[in-house]
Structure 1
Amino acid sequence: MLSNKLRKIAAVSVLALMSTGFAACSSSNDGGSAAPEQLKPGEVAKFTWYHRIPDKKGNTTLKELVDQFNKENPDIEVVPERMQGSAGESYAKINSMVEAGKDVPCVTQIGFERVPDMMGAMMDVKQYAEKYKDDFIPDLYNKATVGDKVFGFPQGASPILFFYRADLFEQYGLKVPTTWDEYKETAKLVREKSGNKSYLGAFLQDEIQWQAALTSSEGADWFGYDPAASTWSVNIKTPETEKVATYWQGLVDEKLVVPTTRWGQDFGKYLQDGTILSTIGGSWEAPLIADTAPDGNGKWKVAQIPHFDASNTTVGQNGGTIAAVLKGCKYPEQAVKFAHWWATNIKGLAGLGLLPAAKVDKIETPANLKEYFGGQEIYEEFIKANNNAPKVTWAPQIGKTLDAMSNELKLVGTTGSLPKVYEIGQTTAVDSLKAVGITVK
């Protein structure tokens, strides 16, 4: 959770940007650029990169990639440190370090949706970053900006896809569903043919971003901004989101999917032992599934997600992150150099199972993932999904909204209700924006 001080700074920054139609605003306490520390002859710019990327064996490891950068840039030494705990806990730690001005990592990982909320902790590095703008998909590059400020680079996209056990689909005579009606019928068949031992999929009780991706795939955009009127709109509870909420609540109530937490121990067990035959998740799921369920090697496949209307090809994003430079970094120019190198290292990112946000025509599926997914070129599916990403707007104070929605989401399947998740989100978003002086229409 943001500290009150940094939350106020972020809100003031957004209000200042709004008052000028999202024009430049560069005071030293609202994300403005800091004077860089000049390296002395022979000096090395040593700084920490605070990230959430698993360092595991594959075509290459994260440590090997960082070692490669350090070798190519002898005047820079990047020290990777992996975040522990939930994303929310990591953001709280980042803000605490920035506010204390001690042990601040130069580069960190910030979710697309959190950028407006984290402005108080990030440094405007436009003077170093703008020259690299054309290296990235425009809509994704903009995720690292607010108004005229640039905080880093998008380092990964995450369209949702349908991951499934091809061997069990064949065993039960199932077809990959292309509509949500087909998904429900397939879920019934799985329960029937497995003697109620297995489910088609899971309902993720700890992934509010999963809900955002599902709803944006059906045309929802939770927020809107009118620059002419300098007003925000909140669209979390709409016919589009209500349709998704009612559908998934029905699957839970009919016990056609199993409620569980994505980041709990049960989910990995379900993948491994066949309790669930599929999962819908971001492209980053590929290496995680391979790591969590090694017995599934060669048995999994990837397909596009179902929709209510089969002609709809829109695919929402379950997350996506930027490599951001933080206030307090002594070496912003060198930090930007590393962030750009990392975000445009197509082969390296793909080797870690990530989908780059940089411009690229084709990405070869890493050998280990191609083997795990039965010889399939899964990155072809990833790119296809990424090319159908919808416009998504995130608003300030989103942390409060997501936290409130998450508190109800974790109760779905017991005492909670998915439609109520969206009701809470609508109310919380409106109230939290108004609380910091932002006009909501």
Structure 2
Amino acid sequence: MKNRAFRTVTLAMAITSLAAVAACGSGGAGDEASGPVDVEFWGWAPGYEKSVELFNASHPGIKVTYSKISPGSKGGYTKMLSAVKAGNAPCLASVGFETLPTFAAAGALQDATAAAAPYAKEYAPWAFAQSSVAGHTYGLPVDIAPMALIYRKDLFAKYGINEAPKTWDEYAADAALIHAADPNAYITYFGNDAYNFAGLAWQAGAKWFTTGGDRWTVDVNDPATKKVTAFWQNLIDKKLVKTVPSFDTALYKGMGEGTILSDVNAVWDTPILADSVKETTGKWAVAPMPVWDTATPTAGNAGGTPNTVLKGCKHVKEAVEFAHWFATDPASVTNLIKETGIYPAALTGLDNPALAEPNPFYGGQKIYDVFKDSATRIDPTFQWGPVMTKTSGALGDGLGKAGTGTTTLDAALADTQAQTLAEMKTQGMETG
């Protein structure tokens, strides 16, 4: 993402207060203490604790204490914001690209611009930019989340589909073919994951949030997004997709028994799927996500997380030093690829040998080759909004209702647009 200014009244006030805090908490001479510097770190992804152990074993001057908490959307972010408000927040925390602007608007982040600046060129430019708000950098990115088509290669072949669909039109045709051959089989499911849907919209060219001067423009129901809703509404109406909540046990039951045959999702979903349907090892494959236009193929992104400095951190320099090591050290990156399923945001991470290893669950395929290609086709200008907790909640609720037929996807978009604008107005943000 380009590093655009997004200055609202609330955000400007937050940044002003953060600058004052940073002056006395930037890890400078006034913060020197005898013994190792303690840096507390909160996160939830599998494998993070191993990288922390590796760091502590090789950096006697900094001791990182890791606490595993609930995922951000399941209470982790609320816990972080409460801790900031209470004055006992950790120094560093996992805050996704999509949520970082919300934390900035809430005044929950601490400026780490000076500490992070020397490392900027070591990351994918758009990933580093998404760790920043209004010219202030608050952390360093661990990963990005290019999307792909994850599918049952054996069952596609059973239904006469010997090549993964390259376009969304082909995907829809294959959906009809599969369901006609077996009324209990579906090419995929339609769930209620707002961020997965955002990745689909991102691929289509959506621009949900833009800024000019002190004002936000919100366009969650823009033409690109409506192209996506029209596609999926058609599949829902024709009952060509199974409607089931995202990450629900019913989803993995269907995938395991061969009634749900694919998932268009991010790189981090590959280990989740492998762990959830172990009995199908060797039967899955990964292909590029279907595209709208083969002449200009694009890919979506559904995730990505910087390790972010929270307000009140007394050792910003050391926290950023650890965050950089965490995202770039070869042993740490290897661990995160294998245990967490990341696609590295650090440029050096792209040469990590773990990315070239065959994956037994996916039939020995080197699946990261697909994600490497997808990563080059992500639009770097997509921007998240300042109240994504409200936006994603409204959208996820609407997607779930649309899947069951109690509303339409376009109505869900309109409601999300209205709820987002109302929340921004409540927080004193200028829109227009």
**Deviation of residue 152 (structure 1)?**
0.5
Give the match for residue 146 of structure 2: 159
1:113 alignment partner, SS class: coil
Asked whether the equivalents of residues 190 and 199 of structure 1 are also in contact (C-alpha less than 8 Å), the reply is: yes
Give the match for residue 112 of structure 1: 97
The structure-2 alpha-carbon separation of the partners of 1:94 and 1:16, relative to structure 1 and needing over 3 Å to count, comes to closer
The structure-2 alpha-carbon separation of the partners of 1:369 and 1:26, relative to structure 1 and needing over 3 Å to count, comes to farther
- Partner amino acid, structure 1, of 2:316: P
1:50 alignment partner, SS class: strand
- Among 114, 123, 141, the alignment partner of 1:136 is 123
1:124 alignment partner, SS class: coil
- Among 37, 48, 59, the alignment partner of 1:73 is 59
Residues 114-153 of structure 1, C-alpha deviations (whole Å, 9 max, x = no match): 1111011111112211111111111110111112311111
The structure-2 alpha-carbon separation of the partners of 1:86 and 1:410, relative to structure 1 and needing over 3 Å to count, comes to farther
**Deviation of residue 110 (structure 1)?**
0.9
Give the match for residue 20 of structure 1: none
Distance in 1, matches of 2:295 and 2:80, equals: 43
Distance in 2, matches of 1:40 and 1:182, equals: 62
- Partner amino acid, structure 1, of 2:292: F
Asked whether the equivalents of residues 18 and 109 of structure 2 are also in contact (C-alpha less than 8 Å), the reply is: no
Asked whether the equivalents of residues 72 and 78 of structure 2 are also in contact (C-alpha less than 8 Å), the reply is: no
Give the match for residue 428 of structure 1: 419
Distance in 2, matches of 1:332 and 1:363, equals: 28
1:251-330 map, 5 Å = 251-330=235-314
Distance in 1, matches of 2:129 and 2:187, equals: 36
- Among 343, 367, 375, the alignment partner of 1:378 is 367
**Deviation of residue 281 (structure 1)?**
0.5
The structure-2 alpha-carbon separation of the partners of 1:84 and 1:27, relative to structure 1 and needing over 3 Å to count, comes to closer
Distance in 1, matches of 2:199 and 2:21, equals: 29
Give the match for residue 51 of structure 1: 43
Distance in 2, matches of 1:30 and 1:91, equals: 24
Asked whether the equivalents of residues 154 and 321 of structure 1 are also in contact (C-alpha less than 8 Å), the reply is: yes
**Deviation of residue 263 (structure 1)?**
2.5
- Partner amino acid, structure 1, of 2:304: G
What is the aligned residue count?
413
Q: CA RMSD in A?
A: 2.3
Give the match for residue 59 of structure 1: none
Distance in 1, matches of 2:412 and 2:93, equals: 30
Unaligned stretches of 5+ residues in structure 2 = 1-6
The structure-2 alpha-carbon separation of the partners of 1:312 and 1:296, relative to structure 1 and needing over 3 Å to count, comes to farther
- Among 407, 412, 416, the alignment partner of 2:402 is 412
1:92 alignment partner, SS class: helix
Return structure 1 stretches of 4+ with deviation > 6 angstroms: none
- Among 30, 33, 37, the alignment partner of 1:40 is 33
The structure-2 alpha-carbon separation of the partners of 1:31 and 1:272, relative to structure 1 and needing over 3 Å to count, comes to farther
Distance in 2, matches of 1:30 and 1:409, equals: 42
**Deviation of residue 88 (structure 1)?**
5.1
**Deviation of residue 258 (structure 1)?**
0.9
Establish whether residue 403 from structure 1 lines up as the match of residue 410 from structure 2: no
The structure that is helix-richer by fraction is: 2
**Please, what TM-score do these two structures have when normalized by structure 2?**
0.89
Q: Percent identity?
A: 31
Residues 224-278 of structure 1, C-alpha deviations (whole Å, 9 max, x = no match): 112xx43322221122211211211221121111111222211222222222111
1:63-102 map, 5 Å = 63-84=49-70, 87=73, 89-102=75-88
Distance in 1, matches of 2:49 and 2:101, equals: 30
Distance in 1, matches of 2:114 and 2:390, equals: 32
Higher RCO structure (Cα 8 Å, ≥6 apart): 2
**Please, what TM-score do these two structures have when normalized by structure 1?**
0.87
- Partner amino acid, structure 1, of 2:63: E
**Deviation of residue 31 (structure 1)?**
6.9
Distance in 2, matches of 1:31 and 1:146, equals: 17
**Deviation of residue 70 (structure 1)?**
0.5
Asked whether the equivalents of residues 252 and 276 of structure 2 are also in contact (C-alpha less than 8 Å), the reply is: yes
